[in-house]
Structure 1
Amino acid sequence: MDRIRQALGARQLNYCGASYGTSRGAVYASMFPPNTGKIVLDSSTPPEGVTAVIRLTGEGVETAFPASATWAADHDSTTPCGRSARPTRSPTACPPLVLQNHAGPSTAYSGALPVRAALGRRAELTTIDGARHGVDLTHACTAGRLTDFLCEDHLPGRDTACP
């Protein structure tokens, strides 16, 4: 990725990665902090790689299931799925923004925590109370954080939990 940045003649690389693509962005931000521009990591995979993703998928699905079951029960008239909701900063580098659903079925929240830790104090984690794979970028809180980060070069300096 750094060779691409060099070939483009860019001083810094901006990157937005989702799911497995977050590992590439996290590694790049760790290896080349001075060359790191704006990094957005949506639904992070843990640093241990695909083995950890597979191990945590069950946790993610279990966490997401109640919300999915509630949705299915609430929409039974149009989607017949059942009626019960009961489940059987380095100073020279731009800080990475890590976006993570609290109940992501494919990328468990617990997998984002070591990503956040590995990126250190320059990274910020925004957790969304969502139950899907990939953060809803139209959610007011998420959209606000992302806009502030991408357009205003501003992050509040702390992790945030969006309702």
Structure 2
Amino acid sequence: MSATVEQRLAELGITLPKAAAPVANYRPTMQTGQILVVSGQLPLVDGKLLYTGKLGKELSNEQGIEAARACLVNVVAQIKGALDGDLSRVRRVVRLGGFMACTPDFTDHAAVMNGASDLSVAIFGEAGAHARSTVGVPSLPLNAPVEVEAMVEVA
């Protein structure tokens, strides 16, 4: 018998935070039919950014990977909040979008985004495998180095 999402989270030592409230005029999640869209999540840990700055300047790839993982944890918290706490309703992580605040010559976007992608598969199993886009940008809200958004199929 395969592990449940909650069991995988426990095995990974992950305790989901309370889903963050929006800080502007948007909704953190929006569902249409069986598709749940999760707005971009920053690498907040205990209400504070894990890191600030740009990849390729102030931050290493390893710090970027940690930030991407933190973003994915917050994505899962938003999913759990939208599904009234029932992560077993997730059928598939369809897509992740990753944004990296980086220097113009930074080219390791895919490696950094693997922090989120690998964690998605670790949490949801094969249902966590997804399509994705990874984009470098000049800045992100609050000087965050990474932001991750998601599209998830739910029951």
Q: TM-score, normalised on structure 2?
A: 0.29
Q: Looking at secondary structure, tell me which structure has more helix per residue.
A: 1
Q: TM-score, normalised on structure 1?
A: 0.28
Where relative contact order (Cα < 8 A, 6+ residues apart) is larger, the structure is 2
Q: Looking at secondary structure, tell me which structure has more strand per residue.
A: 2
